[in-house]
């Protein structure tokens, strides 16, 4: 994606004034009337970058990874909302025709909060209460920014137009230009008596409690969008969206890989040799595992449908139980004698060593043991 900040030569946290200043400087240098045909393409790139970064909503979309000027982008392509007026302003400090007052009520910013959940909530889904600190509509003035009992007043300087005209001299002669009204900052109205609660901004910060439906199958990094639950805009404008980013806490027993769960079950060598039925505590409750006689170390017993729910679709993953056969490290005389008799009966008193190719699972276990991925 094209980096518009780099094209204008400004930092990502540059103010609107810095962006405008950088654009004017480049546009004067690269305009085809000055630089000729060689600078035409660069001039278009600079104009496109200014179109996006000078518009708060388009700039926010770009900062979130969406190019609003690209084909199919949220803001349309080059040439929409940017034309002769912007070029005229670059050279003469004003615009072509007055564009009218700027609305006081503007959309608020999106907000991001993080929510920690456990494996059971990720598996089955959950409903959580979440406390967020955001800007909300001022309850004293209902968002208009005026002290109760008062109202905005038409600006006497611009007569409500939001801009003023002036005559400027240029190489073309005398030119009528427009500029935002300094008395009302382009709003066309002034607040004679600001609200004491919000200082005329129309919004205050407050802590709210929201209910969040966490669907089954979410994982660390999943974002849940709560429309119109973000920051209320200046002047009591519409709220942005709130994004809840999920962080899943590690479980003491189960390891998640995708929608499947994995755990290790330690069984004595006698149980592995003879077979047995064991009870395993799963997220769904106790489940019986039938170990066949002759179960080998590293063997996997799969319990279908006991994993994590699928985020997009029905059903769940599986629970994979990895069998680990434990060998006794100390035997009493009686136990030792029994094993010697078993070895004799099986002709294994002095077994011949047999070398075989290492199974890939051996390397996987070694990698996990030493912290590799």
Q: Is 263 annotated as a binding residue?
A: no
User: Do residues 211 and 128 touch, judged by C-beta distance below 8 A?
Assistant: yes
Q: Is 158 annotated as a binding residue?
A: yes
Tell how far CA 359 is from the center of its chain.
40
- Cα(56)–Cα(60) distance, integer angstroms: 6
User: Other CB atoms closer than 10 Å to residue 367's CB: what's the count?
Assistant: 11
User: Do residues 328 and 269 touch, judged by C-beta distance below 8 A?
Assistant: yes
User: Do residues 158 and 165 touch, judged by C-beta distance below 8 A?
Assistant: no
Q: Is 184 annotated as a binding residue?
A: yes
User: Do residues 118 and 126 touch, judged by C-beta distance below 8 A?
Assistant: no
Q: Is 138 annotated as a binding residue?
A: yes
Q: Is 146 annotated as a binding residue?
A: no
What are the binding residues for Zn(2+)? 138, 141, 155, 158, 181, 184, 195, 198
What are the binding residues? 138, 141, 155, 158, 181, 184, 195, 198
């Amino acid at each position: 994606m094209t980096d518009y900040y780099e094209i204008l030569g400004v930092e990502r946290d540059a103010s609107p004034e810095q962006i405008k200043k950088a654009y004017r400087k480049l546009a004067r240098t690269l305009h085809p009337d000055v630089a000729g045909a060689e600078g035409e393409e660069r001039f278009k790139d600079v104009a496109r970058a200014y179109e996006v970064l000078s518009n708060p909503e388009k700039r926010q979309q770009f900062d979130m990874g969406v190019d609003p000027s690209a084909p199919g982008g949220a803001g349309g392509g080059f040439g929409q909302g940017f034309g002769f007026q912007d070029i005229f302003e670059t050279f003469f400090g004003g615009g072509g025709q007055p564009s009218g007052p700027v609305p006081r009520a503007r959309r608020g910013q999106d907000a991001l909060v993080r929510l920690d959940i456990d494996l059971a909530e990720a598996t089955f889904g959950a409903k959580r209460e979440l406390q967020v600190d955001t800007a909300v509509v001022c309850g004293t003035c209902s968002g208009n920014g005026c002290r109760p009992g008062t109202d905005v007043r038409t600006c006497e300087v611009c007569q409500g137009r939001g801009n003023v005209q002036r005559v400027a001299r240029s190489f073309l002669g005398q030119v009528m230009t427009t500029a935002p009204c300094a008395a009302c900052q382009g709003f066309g109205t002034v607040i004679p008596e600001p609200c004491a609660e919000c200082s005329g901004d129309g919004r205050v910060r407050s802590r709210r409690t929201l209910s969040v439906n966490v669907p089954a199958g979410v994982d660390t990094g999943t974002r849940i969008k709560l429309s119109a639950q973000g920051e209320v805009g200046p002047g009591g404008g519409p709220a942005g969206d709130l994004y809840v980013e999920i962080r899943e806490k590690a479980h003491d027993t189960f390891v998640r890989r995708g929608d499947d769960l994995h755990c290790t079950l330690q069984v004595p060598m006698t149980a592995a040799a003879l077979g047995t039925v064991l009870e395993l505590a799963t997220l769904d409750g106790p489940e019986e595992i039938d170990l066949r006689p002759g179960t080998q170390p590293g063997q996997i017993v799969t319990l279908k449908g006991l994993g994590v729910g699928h985020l997009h679709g029905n059903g769940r993953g599986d629970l994979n139980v990895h069998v680990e056969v434990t060998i006794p490290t100390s035997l009493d005389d009686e136990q030792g004698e029994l094993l010697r008799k078993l070895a004799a009966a099986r002709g294994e008193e002095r077994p011949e060593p047999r070398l075989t190719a290492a199974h890939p699972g051996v390397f996987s276990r070694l990698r996990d043991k030493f912290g590799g991925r």
